[in-house]
Chain A
Amino acid sequence: MRTPLRSRSLRGAVASVAALAVLAACSTDESIDDPAPQAGEESASETEESGGGEEWFVQADFDEQDEQRSATFEGDPEQPWLQYIDGEMTDTADYTSNKAQKVCFANASISNPWRQTGWITMNQQLKVLQDEGVISEMETRDAQDDDNTQIADIDYFISEGNCDVFVISPNSTAAMTPAVERACETGKPVIVFDRGVETDCYTTFIHPIGGYAWGIDTANFLVENLEEGDKVVALRILPGVDVLETRWGAAKKIFEENGIEAVDYFTGADPTKIKGIITDELTKGDVAGVWMDAGDGAVAAIEAFEDQGVDYPVMTGEDEMSFLRKWEETGLTGLAPVYSNFQWRTPLLAVQKIVAGEEVPKEWVLPQTPITEDERADFLEANEGMPDGHYAKFGGEDLPGYPQVWQERQIP
């Protein structure tokens, strides 16, 4: 008497799950008309189609960054943080001053090792410029990855900060644009770096070549080292951040064009998730390559291959020490793309140029060159003793406190 009843409830369960699967499938199609609100908001100007990375993909930007990868940079290659691609310059004659400047820095966060390394370097650069009498002090507000906090921070600086120069590292592109415009209206120099904004009212916008270049470098490397039809697992930190989305957008395009089967996952950089994902994919079938939109968690991904007892993949990580070390230890075929960490020095050096009346590039594009296997040993040697979360191309070797400040990771 019980059995038929129970099996009916079981059938019910299966039916419900099946119905849900159908529902989910339907809503996938609807997403074309109705992109996720957050993503839509942040990329309002560039939304063309939804689904995966396409909505972030702008062919013109892709082409531009593809060219910039082989561009000639002005300035001394020994000081890449001052190099730039020739282009429009901003006249700064009006800002000339002999007085030491008060810099107000609205920082998005220091919540990942890349930003922490940069923040340490920036503070050591600050010491140099304070000694030279260029900067009197730098007041910093940390928005802790929150758009609203950063808007409030910028507005506070405008009304009460008594600032001579604004330095802004935006948390997100669209949300921060009005606040940056308000800062521009004060008539004081505004320096934006790392992530961009949708206005060009700034004095200079400092950034490495960009996410597309990262995606092109890494995807080309994987394509060269893999066969058509091979599988690549793409580990992505989170959706909706332009510098990360463009990396994936470019890589995805290249994988598709070259017949590489790529599946992407969001990991939040959580090594537990990364390891679980790789393990599941290895259970499913061979994984020939691993692509990452940032190197945080690379070691966990490699360990998943070790624990399963299978061959190492061809892999792209980042110039984070943990990856460089594991890469050397395992001898896997790899590439360390670089999102030039030394850019954290440039905003303060830009202040120096601006108050001296020197012109600065309107869009200050810094070099961004991956570390290859041949160069790896040099970078490992140069950064010996640095912690795992340190970035090889941090560019602070000539600053006071080197190497102890970075080795002990003294975060101000």
Chain B
Amino acid sequence: MTTSTQLLDRAGRAPLADHHRSLGGRAAAALATPGGAVYVLVLLLLVATIAANPNFGDPGVVIRFLGRTAPIAIAAIGQYYVIVSGEFDLSMGAVVAAQVVMAGNLIGQDDSRILPVMVLMLAVGVLIGVLNGLGTTLLGVPSFIVTLGMMLALGGLVDHLTGGAATGNPADTFREIGRGGIQDVPVVDVIPYPLLILLVLGALASWSMRRPFGRSLVAAGDNADAARVSGSSLWWLKTRAFIISSLSATVAGILLVGYAGVHPSVGQGYEFTAITAVVLGGVLLGGGRGWVLSAAAGAVALELLFVLLTALGVESTWRATVQGLIIIAAVAVAGRAWQRGRRPRRTSPSSRHLTHHQPTPGTTTGDN
């Protein structure tokens, strides 16, 4: 309990100290946190990619890249809500696959079905989120298991409906959402619709995290008991997080059908990519800390890494291994950057007295 009071104490002091510094100083401080370090990582990867393949420096190429990264970034934003509240959503990939197959089978070549089917898809997304949320909160089953079960159930359903193979693509008008964009834009040539959707959802997410809902959610992830005592309705709070997560997977699904077409393998591994993106974005696994937009940046970093490996011509059989090692290294480095970022605070005049307490257990080990 002493550690938690110390953490609160420190958390209370740090923002105040930050506010006394200049804008640049604050930005520097922010970059030294795990949630900020991911932007440095994105920049590093971008520079490395352009160095390996100068064509990638073209604004039109970058904007198209961001367009195709939008679905996974949106999924990462959804996953963020669940993780920051202290839970997991492993059903994400299966939700994407189910929605993709649904779009393919139900819309077909009939334009008039686009709207009703999209409404149905969103409703199914909400339903899955409610089931995940209630299973976790009311039944008290760990979310890891509830959403794993959901993943298997949905996966089985998709297999049953498709036999595991692709059906035809839905109408081109529907696919335009994920494939098209605003044409003839100066400099960048085209602004993909998925990127616009990502920007809107990112703004919404950022706003929601400043609202009481967002703050309570983070509090619930940090200390569920304290959140409950302070009057938050925990089950409704977390259930909403699960609904947001499966809705984001639904949106990702709609964009992916447009981008690439129908195949039951679309969305495979999405839950792990999204979780990795969230962690890479400096969000604490277990909840209670992290920024929502950093999760989206984490997704961009992951995709950039993939592009970089292509640009470097890494052999196909080694690709996954190299990717995995770099992710581990990046998370480790981000964690270190965070620790180093904190250290100067102890030596700064205002908190110099803390250095006298250095040997006291808890001051240095309580950080992570």
* A residues neighboring B (CB under 8 Å): 1-3, 5-6, 8-10, 12-14, 16-17, 20-21, 23-24, 27-28, 36, 51-52, 109-113, 115-116, 236, 239, 263-266, 268-272, 274-277, 279-281, 283-285, 296-297, 299-300, 303, 307, 322, 387-389, 411
Contacts and interface: CB of A to CB of B under 8 A. Distances in A.
A284 B25 CA distance: 38
Interface stretch (B132-140, B214-222, B307-315): B307-315
Contacts of A3: 28
Contact of B307 (A5, A116, A280, A387): A280
Q: How large is the interface on B (under 10, 10 to 19, 20 to 34, 35 or more residues)?
A: 35 or more
Contacts of A28: 315, 318
* The 6 nearest A-B residue pairs measured at CB: A111-B164, A271-B260, A113-B165, A280-B310, A270-B265, A272-B260
A3 B340 CA distance: 11
A110 B163 contact: yes
B364 interface: no
B320 to A, nearest CB: 8
A52 B311 contact: no
A275 B167 contact: no
Given A280-B307, A281-B310, A299-B261, A5 B325 contact: no
Contacts of A268: 265, 268
A63 B312 CA distance: 34
B163 A23 contact: no
B177 interface: no
Contacts of B168: 322, 387-389
Interface in B42-96: 44, 53, 55-56, 61, 64, 68, 71
A284 B260 contact: no
A195 to B, nearest CB: 17
Contact of B306 (A14, A17, A276, A387): A276
A52 B311 CA distance: 19
22 contacts: A2-B29, A3-B28, A5-B32, A8-B340, A9-B333, A10-B40, A12-B336, A16-B332, A16-B333, A24-B318, A52-B317, A116-B163, A263-B313, A265-B319, A270-B260, A270-B266, A283-B61, A284-B55, A284-B311, A285-B55, A296-B166, A300-B261
B245 interface: no
Nearest to B263: A271
Q: Binding site of B, secondary structure by majority: helix, strand, loop or mixed?
A: helix
A317 to B, nearest CB: 14
A320 to B, nearest CB: 9
B32 to A, nearest CB: 6
B152 to A, nearest CB: 13
B344 A24 contact: no
Contact of B344 (A1, A271, A322): A1
B166 A2 contact: no
B250 interface: no
Interface in B314-368: 314-319, 321-322, 325-326, 329-330, 332-333, 336-337, 340-341, 343-344, 348
A373 B116 CA distance: 40
B314 to A, nearest CB: 8
Nearest to A269: B265
A113 B166 CA distance: 7
Contact of A387 (B25, B55, B167): B167
Contacts of A36: 317
